[in-house]
Amino acid sequence: MTNASDIVVQENAPRRIGIVESDARDKTRKVVIAYSARHPKYGKYIKRRTVLQVHDESNQSHKGDRVEVAECRPISKTKSWVLTRVVEKAVGSE
C-alpha cells in the first residue's frame, strides 16, 4: 500500500487539466483530457481524448469536476498521475 507521504510530485512535473469521468473506485479517478488534433492528410481537426487513471488520496474530486493532475512515480499498474487540485466543481455537486 502507498501512503500519501510517499508520493512526491516535483515542481517541474508535467501537469494537465481534465474532467473527472468516473469516481466509482476508492482513491482512484478516471480523468479525461480532450483535445483537437489535425489530420495529417486531410487537414480536418479531429476530437481526441486521453484517459488517465489518477490517484486521489482524500477522495476530494467527484464526477464532472475539472481537476489538475501531475505526473508522478508509478503507484500501481495503471496509475502514474496524482491529483493536485480541483480547479472547478461540477454544477449541482456539493
Quick check: is 7 in a domain?
no
Q: What is the model's pLDDT at position 73?
A: 94
Tell me, yes or no, whether 68 lies in a domain. Answer: yes
Is 58 contained in some domain? yes
One-character DSSP codes across 28-51: EEEEEEEEEEE-TTT--EEEEEEE
Q: What is the pLDDT of residues 34-93, one digit of tens each?
A: 999 999 999 999 999 999 999 999 999 999 999 999 999 999 999 999 999 999 998 876
Domain count, the chain: 1
Cross-strand bridge partners of residue 91? none
Domain of 41 in residue numbering reads as: 13-88
CATH of the domain at 70: 2.40.50.140
pLDDT value of position 90: 87
Looking at the domain assignment, is residue 4 inside a domain?
no
The per-residue pLDDT for 1 is: 52
Tell me how many degrees the CA angle 38-68-81 measures, rounded to the nearest 5: 90
